[in-house]
Amino acid sequence: MFAFLIRRIIQAALVMLVVASIAFLMFRFLGDPISNLLPEDATVEDRAEMREKLGLNDPFLTQYGRFIVDAAQGDFGQSYRNNRPVSDLLAERFPATAELVLVAASLALALGIPLGIYTALNPRGWISQGLQVVSLLGISVPTFVTGILLILLFSVSLGWLPSFGRGTVVDLGGWTTGFLTLSGLKALILPSIMLALFQMTLIMRLVRAEMLEVLRADYIKFARARGIPNQILHFKYALKNTLIPVMTIFGLQLGGLIAFAIITETVFQWPGMGFLFIQAVNFSDVPVMAAYLVLVSFLFVVINTIVDLLYHVVDPRLRVEKSTARGV
């Protein structure tokens, strides 16, 4: 297990280096930050001076080297737009995104898995058929449309829930949380539904498909022939094997949730990292964009590592194989 972890960490470091390089290269082509930082009628000298100050006149490799060395130490420099260290900005925004993703992920799992099981066990029931149709909608309607529809229904027409922001948040020494106030909880509802909807339908359909597959497997047939009650058959034998692919997908999707949060955060003016990123794109704020990309890929890598570790817990065969099959 330990060797496996070390291998994963080395792999992760390589992935991060590649991501950082791509981030840096890509953002060179995003336009000139100077035009957003200076007034319309700033003089040529003002511009030149600003370029010099921001280090944009240095040779490309110098800029790149500086970026990688600083980034390795967790220093992503100053945001051009906010005049503040990027790491502070991201740290400030992380709680908002984390809480949103946490709620959305719990929602997706808590609804997706039971619904998936239900539709698999009662494939011909009209509720299952209905859920199948609705889930198709959930997958195919773009999330921003869902978000706007939710706002129109629950904020504009019914006036129940806020259409933007996080509500009142409580500062717990560096971590701002919306869980402790009523307005904070209310503000979480619509954005987390919007974010969870796609994942939920995905999990539901996945669980259903896997479960149907497993239920057709020979060992289930034999178990059934031996007269093992359905309850044990479904929830002890079938479900466990259903959950392995679901876990993989969910792990990947958790990263997806963080990435997708950009859209949700933009629609709901949710002051999280994704929103910070979009703002940075508008202003060609390269340090913020690069840091965000590196951070998100870091989260992806961490999540995938955890998922791999979880396989070992769930599937005993992998524990045996690991001594023979290297490089999982």
Interaction between residue 98 and other proteins (CB under 8 A): no
Phi, psi of 153 (to 5 degrees): -75, -55
Q: Which of the 8 DSSP states describes residue 163?
A: S
154 within 8 A of 160, measured Cβ to Cβ: yes
Q: How far is CA 132 from CA 113, 115, 183, in A?
A: 14, 10, 34
| Among positions 63, 82, 183, 248, the unique one binding other proteins when judged by CB under 8 A | 82
Q: Which is nearer to other proteins, 52 or 321 (CB)?
A: 52
Interaction between residue 177 and other proteins (CB under 8 A): no
Residue 94 identity: F
Interaction between residue 129 and other proteins (CB under 8 A): no
Dihedral class, residue 42 (left if φ above 0, else alpha if ψ from -120 to 50, else beta) = beta
Q: Which is nearer to other proteins, 284 or 297 (CB)?
A: 284
User: Binding string to other proteins for residues 153 to 172, with x set by CB under 8 A, is what?
Assistant: --xx--x--xxxxx--x---
Give the separation between CA 76 and CA 20, rounded to whole angstroms: 11
Q: Which residue has the tokens 């698999």?
A: 120
User: Binding string to other proteins for residues 61 to 80, with x set by CB under 8 A, is what?
Assistant: -----------------x-x
The number of residues that bind other proteins (CB under 8 A) is 52
Interaction between residue 37 and other proteins (CB under 8 A): yes
Tell me which residues in 246-285 interact with other proteins (CB under 8 A). Answer: 266-269, 271, 275-276, 278-279, 282-284
| Among positions 117, 151, 188, 202, the unique one binding other proteins when judged by CB under 8 A | 151
Residues 6+ apart with CB under 8 A from 11: none
Q: Shortest CA distance to 233 belongs to which of 300, 160, 242?
A: 242
Binding residues vs other proteins (CB under 8 A): 30-33, 35-46, 53-55, 78, 80-85, 88, 92, 148, 151-152, 155-156, 159, 162-166, 169, 266-269, 271, 275-276, 278-279, 282-284
